[in-house]
Structure formats: C-alpha cells, structure tokens
Amino acid sequence: MIITSSRCDFIYRSFFMRNFFNNLAYKTSAFMRGRNGVDNLNRLLSGITIVLLILSCFVPYGRYVLLLALIVEGYYLFRVLSKNLYKRQQENMKYMSMTTGIRKKLTLFKNMFRDNGVYKYYKCPNCHSYVRIRKPPRGKKIAVSCYKCHNEFIKRT
Ligand SMILES: [Zn+2]
C-alpha cells in the first residue's frame, strides 16, 4: 500500500496534533491553576534575563553572561510554575519591601517626565518630600508651602 502525502498528513494530524489547538487558552489556564504565575519579582527576573542576553553579545566572555542569563531564566520559570504559593508570595513581598525606596524614586522621575513644562517639583528641606506646583514664570522668587509638614520655603524659579 502506498501512503500518499495527504494520507501521511492525515495520520500525522490524527495522532499528534489532534485537538491540540482546541481550547488552548482554556488548557493553559487549567495548567497554570494553583501555580504562582508572573508576579513583580518575576517581572524583574525576566527583565534581567533580557538585559543579560543583550549584554552577552557585546562583552568579552559573553558565554558566561549567557550562562548567567540561562540561570536567571531557569529561576524565573521555576517561580512561574511553582505550586508553593506561600513561599513565592513571601519572596515577592520581601522583594517589594526591599525596593520600596527605588520604586518611589522611579515613579517620581516618571511623573517629572510626564509633567515636564506643566508642573515643577520642589524638595521640602524640612521633611524631604516633593511638592508639585504649577510651573511658575522664570526669574522670580516664590514661596512654596509643603503639603505634609506645612513648612514654607523660598525658591528661585
Ligand atoms: Zn515638608
């Protein structure tokens, strides 16, 4: 018996690919049920992986950087697929509390960039918080009052 290509195709599909793409989204969500998935720490890990992958192309001994990227990626996958939710959440909370300061700074810079030309940010000398005011005209002295500690300070614009 001669197996034609269309017959091969039929056998292949019926044995290996049958219903594989049916309900793929449902299957994925069923597979991920009870697993950690992507949290903040995993987002950082995947970011580190991408940076390391790009870096490995340009630095000497790039293969070691590549190895490091694979290790980080492995840890990322382990955390995504892990079923020990309690431990993964503890790790994530620790990471979040450790980076509170940095994340606040990043948010501030992001807001400064967004408000560029509209608002101006001044640091309160008393409590070190940032005060946002509408951008004043240039070359004037203004009194800024802090919203937190109500301290007034003079700034040149
Ligand atoms: Zn203040």
Instruction: State in Å: Cα 130 to ligand 1 middle.
Output: 8
Region 6-32 average pLDDT: 74
Instruction: State in Å: Cα 150 to ligand 1 middle.
Output: 6
Instruction: State in Å: Cα 153 to ligand 1 middle.
Output: 9
Instruction: State in Å: Cα 131 to ligand 1 middle.
Output: 8
Contact 68, 52 (CB under 8 A): yes
Average pLDDT taken over every residue of the chain:
89
Percent of the chain with pLDDT over 90: 71
Instruction: State in Å: Cα 102 to ligand 1 middle.
Output: 20
pLDDT per residue as tens digits for the range 78-114: 999 999 999 999 999 999 999 999 999 999 999 999 9
Classify burial at 41, counting beta carbons within 10 Å of its beta carbon; exposed 0-12, middle 13-18, buried 19 or more: buried
Instruction: State in Å: Cα 105 to ligand 1 middle.
Output: 17
Q: What is the pLDDT of residue 36?
A: 94
Q: What share of the chain is helix, strand, coil (3-state, %, to 5)?
A: 55, 15, 30
Q: Which residue has the tokens 């292949």?
A: 12
pLDDT per residue as tens digits for the range 22-53: 888 888 899 999 999 999 999 999 999 999 99
**How far is residue 37's CA from residue 17's CA, in Å, rounded to a whole number?**
27
Instruction: State in Å: Cα 50 to ligand 1 middle.
Output: 40
| Biggest CA pair distance of the chain | 96
Instruction: State in Å: Cα 98 to ligand 1 middle.
Output: 24
Instruction: State in Å: Cα 156 to ligand 1 middle.
Output: 18
Can you give the residue ranges of every domain in the chain? 34-98, 105-156
Quick check: 4 pLDDT over 60?
no
Which of the four pLDDT bands, split at 50, 70 and 90, describes residue 7?
A: low
